[in-house]
Structure 1
Amino acid sequence: MANVKVAVRVRPLSKRENAEEGRIIVEVDNKVAKVRNIKVDNRLDGPWDSREKIVAFSFDYCYWSIDPEDPKYASQEVVFQDLGTSVLSGAFKGYNICLFAYGQTGSGKTYTMMGTPASVGLTPRICEGLFSRQDDYSEQPASCRVEVSFLEIYNERVRDLLKQSDHKKPYTLRVREHPETGPYVQGLSQHLVTDYKQVVGLLEEGIAKRITAATHIHDASSRSHAIFTIHYTQAILENNLPSEIASKINLVDLAGSERADPSYCKDRITEGANINKSLVTLGIVISTLAQNSQMFSSCQSINSITSEGDSSPVGSHTTGSVSGTRRQAYIPYRDSILTWLLKDSLGGNSKTIMVARISLNQCLFFIYSHLSCQLQLQ
């Protein structure tokens, strides 16, 4: 699936992980991430144990963000130059773009997407690029219109982060689907912005309203998925005729996945169940898109071979097209609010970038394995 890129970014051990004497099991070598299975290291080698000690995974990008003094260190700027510029170039060409950060609670997703005042993340940098770096990506000058919205999905319900809502019923927005333009949130506010400062102000306003809570892993864990959407429209002259190029950029800071803990209260368990449900659905959607893409490519190859066979002498028997006998798998976009809203940015005229945040510690290995299984079909 050529329109999907996957990046892995490794963060250093946290204070809690250092206190628990967490072991380093992840290494990065160019575009390959290697994970050491320490359970095998602690056992005697024998013919009955077929598990590997080190398993390697290949990705489009691997970032080692551990020590700023390390020559291999990948800063926020390095990540932007690889991923952010891809988003900008795709948007200027009229593609719908989806960039999201995936990982366990406390793995650094919000840092990658939003950053800090001293180390700005992908979302502000991409917004800045829309206003200040158009000439670097577009072939011809154009006037543009930029509108933004900011929402969060909490327990499969939607709230506008840029609009004052009723404190008793803050989650009153409903997701609808237009027959031509696709899914949308009814009543979601759209804000016209003309410069980067306005975007930063709206980002700060929305981030301050997000739902957070303390967990065993992180003191201020995001308990909701946040989607910052940019509608970017360019007015251009094509063959001396006025026309428009419209694109949508979805920048998603996903809530952290985690294992259920019996010590949590009922509300926290419900939150975690809804978070994991939407993340599993996202993985299924991406995996199904990859399978359908492979099926489409294989059918095209078979049809090409069949077309060549049609030129055989009269009377010879040729195999007909088999593309009609292979149905593409159903893509369950509507199984979660998250995938439903991202429908037009995951399939069709779109490009998708996933940033998987992981730690050096073993506690994040299950996310790494799950992510690789979902994307190995691409």
Structure 2
Amino acid sequence: MPSAWLYAIGLDIFSQLTGSSKHNNWDYTLDRAEKNGKKKRRIVGDGSSILARPRCIAQGEYEAEVLWVGWSGTLLRIDGSVELRGFSAYETDDIKSLELTDGVGVVGGFGWADLLGIVDSCGHIWRCNPGSTTASILQIDSQLSAAFENTVKSVAITGTEQVAVLHDHGASITTFSSLLEFYAYPETKNNLTNARSRKHFRHHQQITYIRAGEAHFVALDLGGQVYTWGANLHGELLQPLVGSILRPLAVPALEGTPMRDVATNGFLTACLSQDTKDVYIWGWTPSTRIIGLPNAGDDVAGIIDQFDENEHLVIEHLAVGNGFVVLASSDSQTGELCVWVAGGSDWMNMLGLPRSETFVKVNGEWSGKRRDQYELSVFCGSASIFVRLDQK
């Protein structure tokens, strides 16, 4: 079986990358603070828990996949096992394996900072209870799953805790103004007086996935059309309309240009065209403006032209962190695989991630590998980058 490698760079203050409470000869010091009657751990330290260079966090003859990344936790699938690494909600182990019913797999996690739950391959919603003393920290939410008729594909939550649920096999999206409203859906489903802030959207094209930023959502359908809704604080919706949008609307600036991939984080969004040549970006970065990014509020998409002179370079995959964009590319002539990053804020320098207006290479063990032997893909958290290398 071909081998796979998963690398991580960035903030690891809760060991959400390495899954170990000790590294770089530095021990975590933890104390507990009472909040709303619950014990919540907080970190006391000097910020030394940083992976300034790419570190391999998983390797072997198996699949390695990033399912969900929050501020303080990461959900990974490694060799068929699903692992929760880091600090989540109120209690944690260094690495906790998530056990599900036989034959049921994890599709993805949901939450923003902490893992709140998962969606499984049968369309069920599972709640996360990290404070549990039992072997498993997951419990199926049968009422919530039944309210969506067990057809949930994914759940996305913004930093402001608005929720979007993709269900009906990708034909429907339901949005909620808060987590409490989402969890109360079984009781309010048929009660119109309690559903004023809940919006339901049906679509003729199948939605493949949804992504959440700080206060907005982005969706991509099977035909490659991009949709946005939510708050439009910094032009992150790419819509000519002023103010917030309550339901998914197609992005006019991208109509007629089918997209292959879309990613968002913070107030920044990027998407990749189906011909894997053009990267479009819009929104806002905290302090380092990416060249090609339009002014916030403009209803046009900026396009990255840095690689135009290299006709052999193909963008394979993209990801977005909080203020930065990461690309995985290959060269059809030389076969070289590369990872690029642009953007960032002042504190990104602390994380060992380059801060740049243009895309610069991120070197790692994937450098020098060839596309005829390996595949490269990237994922992002708010302040971390994951690089997956798969042997063909």
TM class, shorter-chain normalised? under 0.3
Structure with the larger RCO, 1 or 2 (CA within 8 Å, 6+ apart)? 1
Larger radius of gyration: 1
TM-score normalised over the length of structure 2: 0.24
